[in-house]
């Protein structure tokens, strides 16, 4: 199958998504992610206070995790547009198909398919699947992804998302001449 060209609207949408993804990665910053590199998403969720103010360093850690999640949402949306356009990058489609058809293997899913991390992070923190009509196996797979993300450190997440963004931009520039305004 020949890859389809992107429409001007698709190019504009992807360029905007990538602009925002890079902005969120800049907000998370490599230095801040390194400072809190061993903090996991799960530990942040458990540490968030029920009533009192959010104090440092938790405040900075929560903000970094939110910026990383926001970057993942934009990267996933860009990959979704590319998948819908059938343009030769099917990371989003492969990840969705895999988790629709396979039981999770917590020790291997993320390590064997790190290119799916942004999709998995988006699914867990920014795009929860509806519970209505979900089979027990689908619920199990979703919970396994949530557990996998909970154990992921901010440092690894930052590095992986930055790499994904750079690789995606390389694909977009080569294929469609799309560059992100900085």
How large is the average pLDDT for residues 58-80? 95
Q: Where are the domains of the chain?
A: 9-47+55-176
- Radius of gyration of the chain from Cα atoms? 17
Q: Where are the alpha helices (DSSP H) in 29-153?
A: 30-35, 41-47, 58-84, 91-101, 109-112, 117-121, 136-150
Is 4's pLDDT higher than 80? Answer: no
Q: What is the pLDDT of residues 17-26, one digit of tens each?
A: 999 999 999 9
Residue 6 · residue 176 · CB < 8 Å: yes
d(CA 60, CA 161): 18
When mean pLDDT is compared over 121-125, 132-136, 152-156, the highest value belongs to 152-156
**Plot region of 177 (φ>0 → left; ψ -120 to 50 → alpha; else → beta):** left
Is 126's pLDDT higher than 70? Answer: no
Residue 80 · residue 62 · CB < 8 Å: no
pTM equals 0.89
- The pLDDT value given to residue 105: 54
Among candidate residues 182, 176, 181, the one with its CA nearest the CA of residue 11: 176
d(CA 41, CA 168): 24
Confidence of residue 103 (pLDDT cuts 50, 70, 90): low
Which of the two residues, 136 and 2, has the higher pLDDT score?
A: 136
Is 128's pLDDT higher than 80? Answer: no
- The pLDDT value given to residue 146: 86
């Amino acid at each position: 199958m020949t890859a389809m060209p992107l429409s001007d609207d698709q190019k504009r949408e992807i360029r905007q998504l990538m602009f925002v993804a890079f902005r969120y990665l800049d907000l998370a910053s490599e230095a801040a992610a390194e400072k809190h590199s061993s903090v996991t998403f799960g530990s942040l969720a458990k540490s968030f206070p029920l009533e009192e103010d959010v104090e440092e360093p938790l405040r900075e850690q929560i903000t970094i995790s939110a910026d990383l999640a926001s970057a993942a949402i934009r990267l996933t949306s860009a990959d979704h547009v590319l998948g819908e356009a059938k343009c030769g990058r099917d990371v989003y489609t492969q990840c969705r198909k895999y988790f629709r058809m396979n039981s999770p293997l917590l020790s291997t899913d993320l390590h064997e398919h790190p290119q799916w991390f942004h999709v998995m992070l988006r699914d867990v923190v920014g795009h929860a699947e509806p519970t209505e009509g979900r089979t027990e196996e689908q619920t199990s797979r979703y919970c396994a992804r949530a557990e996998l993300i909970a154990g992921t450190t901010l440092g690894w997440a930052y590095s992986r998302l930055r790499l994904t963004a750079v690789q995606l931009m390389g694909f977009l520039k080569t294929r469609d001449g799309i560059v992100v305004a900085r």
